[in-house]
Structures are given as C-alpha cells and as structure tokens.
Amino acid sequence: MKKTIIVSLVAVMALSVLAGCGGGTKTEESQGKADAPAKPLKFSLSLPVTTTAGYQARVTDWKNDKLVKQLEKLTNTELTVRITEDSKMSVMFAGNDIPDVVGSIGTPTSKSMAGSVEAGVFMPLDDLLKQYAPNLMKKVPKAAWDAVSHNGKIYGIPDYLSNPSRRGTYIRTDLLEKAGLKPPQTIDEFLNVLRAFKKMGVENPYQMRDSFKYADVVLGAYDVLPYKDQFEVVNGQVQPKFFDVDNMEKALQTYKTMLDEGLIPKDFATISSADYSKSINSGKAGAWSANATGLISFRTPIRQVVPDAKVDIIPSPKGPEGKGGYFFYIPAVRTFYINKNVDKERAIGIVKFYEWMTSEEAEKFFTFGIEGENYTLDNGKMNYKIPTTKEEQEEESFRQGTLWMGQDATLSPPRKRLELDQNGKDVLSAFDNVLNMEGLPGIGFYPDLTAFAKYPDLAPPQPDVGPKLIIDHMVKMIYGKEPIADWPKVIEEYKAKGGNEILKEANERYSKKEGVLEIKR
C-alpha cells in the first residue's frame, strides 16, 4: 500500500516536471542561479509586433541573432526571445504558453492582453520598480505609469510618449508659395488656401479619408473629436466632446463646404488609407494630416514625382476658440509585463534589465547599433553608417523600435539618430516647435467602460475612430443626406440607444476616480 503511494507520488511529480517543460520556459531554469551574480540572468521574452514582415522575418534563430547577442552581452542576460504578432496575443494566452516577460501594444486592459492582467497572470511591480529602477521611475512620466496601472498598481513597464501630440498638419509649401499665401492660422484661412490650391488645379486640396481617420483637422479645430479618450467635463458632468452641438454643427458645415466646393475628394467616404497615401505620394494633395514622424516618408516619394516639391509641417489651423491640432495619444505605446510565476530574484533581475534601458549605454546601442559594424568612433565623434538597403533599414528600425523597451517612443527613429541629417532635424523641429504647442487633451477610461461592450455601435472601435452611430450621421450630414441642424437629434438617439448607460457609468467612475485617465501634456 505504502509502496503504491510512493510510486504514484513519483509518477505525479515526474508528470508535473514534464508538464512544466511543456508549458514553456517557466521557472525551473534559474532556481538557485540568480544569487550568483556572475551567472547571466535567464528569462524568456515576447516582443510585440504588428507585422511579421521586416527584420524579424529574416531571423530564424534568435539565440544567435547578433542584436540579441549584443544585448545579452551588455546586460549579462540569457534571453529566449520570440516575436508575437499583436493579433495573435490572445492565442498565446489561450494556449497558456506565457513567457517570463510579455510585451504588448497598448495598455494592461487593451484587447490584445485578452483580460490577462485582470485575471492575475502578471505581477504588480510598484515595489520592485521603486527599489530597483529609480531612474526608470523618474524618466517615465507619471501619466504613462498611470496608463499602465490597474486598480492602482503598476503592472507594466511602458514605452512612453514624452509628447502626446503626435500628428501634424502637412502642407505643400511650394504650392503655398506659388499661390502667394502665408501658412493658414485659422480654419477660414485654411479654407482660402485650399480654394487657391483648387484654382491652381490641385486635385485634392485637403486629402480627406473615410471615417475621418487622419482627416480630422477640422474636428480638432472645433474640439469635437468623437474618439475614445476625448471625454470632457461640462458643468461637472463627464460627456463625449461631440455633445457640443454648436461646435459640432460648425465643424460639419465646414466639411460640407469643403465637399461642395471640391476641396476634399467627392468620394471621401470610400477613400481607403491606401488611396490616401497614393494620392499624397503622387503629388495630388495640397494639405493633409499624418503622423509627424512620417515627414521623411512623404518627402522622398513626392519629390520623385514633383522634383521641386516642398513638404512641411505647419501649426494646425485654429478654430474660433483658439484650439487646434489632433487628439493626444495615451502616453504608453507598448507595455512589458512580468509573469507572476517568475520568482522574486529573477523579477528583480528583470526590473534591473529595464532600468539599464534608460542608460546612455543603452541609448547608444539601440540608436547606433554595434561598434565596428554600424558605426565607428573617430576621437569620440560618431560616424554612423546610415542604412541604405532595405535590409539595413529594417534592421535599424527593429533595433530602435522593437528591441528597445521602456524607451521614449515619441520619436522614431530616436532623437540622436534624427540629429544626423536635415530631414531628421526638420522632424525634431516639428515636434519641439509645432506639435508641442497644439493638440487636444481629453479624459479616457482604462479599462474600457463596460457599457461599450454592450453597445458596439456606440463604442469607438479604435482609439482614433469614432463610434459607428456618430460617424454614420456625420458622413450623411456632410453628404447632405441629413440636415446638419439635426445634430441634437443624433445626441438624443445616442442617449436612447445606450448612451445614457455610458454616461452614467462614465460619471460614476469619474467621481470615484476608478480607471480614469486624464490625457494631457
């Protein structure tokens, strides 16, 4: 009898060891090793990507990848790296195959995290960070720490934004000069510039797009962006910004004028992002809205078509209240979480690993790569080999954007790299002198309001797209299928179809300060 028990116990233990192996690289590797500091810290890490194309597509063996090896050398670690597409994150969670450190795009309650933080898959990091990563704590702005907190506890280490205003108004300066006009400062001036462009034969004076995505300069000027994190407090009540009937009607009227006068494409409701880029890059657009980091990627193709084209980022035209620009992004772009099964010693090591990310050594490695291969130093002067082939460019962007964790993600490529040439300097100047002055703060709810899940038509499907119900009415009004004066009715419809529940929950959470994120500079 006793023997049977022992045998079955052994069998169970053997099985659980097997199960442990099957479950991925969990805790068994490092026990007892962490206290010997000379030994490298071992942990597994999943890096989030939006696409598997690029550098990551060419690496088959991450153990022997030169960038990973260099990172291991610099940080005395032994990494088991894998790449996880953002859309496949829930598959990883459902399969319970969770590495020691998981990176994801967004915040703890983002869809790609599949509710894992709420389910307690990861550990809170407050104490560890305070004790072992003082520089990181200082460098990452509080707004970003707030964004990666859940129920008051920090759960992740973010790639943060030091400047939440990321989009800018682009204009073809050469056309502006030809028209003899100054950069527009108000919406009225903006329309006049567009009219002048139209007269000069520019096909799409303002490159509009479907759903107002990257086409919201007017909505911004009137401060009625219908987005997820664009709630505001009016008379002590939290409400979406599109509740502002007066400004919304003016914004819609402006778009209608633009459509009627041919200042935006007649079929903008079916202009996809591909059509939008194609039109701009072939020199058919006079002004447009886009990410400011994209300046270089617009200049090059446009100049191939129109050799003397000049593309610049100008201050966004202001509305009657002096507001303008685009929505503020939530200040955490990617977030890295530590599996709760990681023992304390290793967790400390991992936090120190992220602390190292703030160092100058890290900045140099991720920005410029490996000495001798990517750059040389002449008496301390940086001689960076600027990537020319597609392969080299992909390697650079992987190093700077994917492998560098816990960084300031405002600029891509990083500041030091941008300082090397004129295009980069122009991007820097756009961020430091233009975007710094504009943009629209708002209130967001993290995790999402639960009422959103109940009423998909009232929930913004993406951070920069409004709810279907609202967008549908806006588009119909601009096309003249519904009168703009009916906007109050749209708000009533919104309320009746579930909006009242959204408002109620938003106000309750706002007054209790539960998962409320004020997104401001």
Q: Which is nearer to another protein, 375 or 479 (CB)?
A: 479
* Cross-sheet strand order for the sheet of 516-519: 237-240, 231-234, 442-445, 516-519
Burial degree of 35 (CB within 10 A; 0-12, 13-18, 19+): exposed
Q: Which is nearer to another protein, 251 or 295 (CB)?
A: 251
C-alpha separations of 104 from 107, 109, 334 in Å: 8, 11, 6
CB of 398 to another protein, least distance (A): 27
CB of 94 to another protein, least distance (A): 5
Question: What is the distance of C-alpha 306 from the center of its chain?
Answer: 32
Q: Which is nearer to another protein, 114 or 296 (CB)?
A: 114
CB of 352 to another protein, least distance (A): 29
CB of 511 to another protein, least distance (A): 23
- Give the CA radius of gyration of the chain: 26
What is the C-alpha separation between 34 and 40, in angstroms, rounded?
8
β-pair partners for 332: 160
DSSP string covering 284-324: -EEEEEEEGGGHHHHHHHHHHHSTT--EEEEPPPB-TTS--
β-pair partners for 337: 102, 156
CB of 374 to another protein, least distance (A): 38
CB of 403 to another protein, least distance (A): 29
Q: Which is nearer to another protein, 226 or 424 (CB)?
A: 226
Of 256, 279, 277, 271, the closest CA to residue 205 belongs to: 279
Q: Which is nearer to another protein, 504 or 520 (CB)?
A: 504
Per-residue 3-state assignment (H helix, E strand, C coil) for 249-261: HHHHHHHHHHHHC
Q: Which is nearer to another protein, 211 or 402 (CB)?
A: 211
Task: Yes or no: say if 203 and 264 are a contact pair by the CB < 8 Å rule.
Answer: no
CB of 272 to another protein, least distance (A): 8
In one-letter notation, the amino acid at residue 119 is A
Task: Yes or no: say if 24 and 59 are a contact pair by the CB < 8 Å rule.
Answer: no
Positions touching another protein (CB under 8 A) are: 90, 93-94, 111, 114-116, 119, 121, 210-211, 265-267, 269-270, 272, 274, 448, 452-454, 456-457, 459, 461, 468, 471-472, 474-476, 479, 481, 497
CB of 199 to another protein, least distance (A): 18
CB of 19 to another protein, least distance (A): 16
Q: State whether the Cα torsion 481-483-487-490 is positive or negative.
A: negative
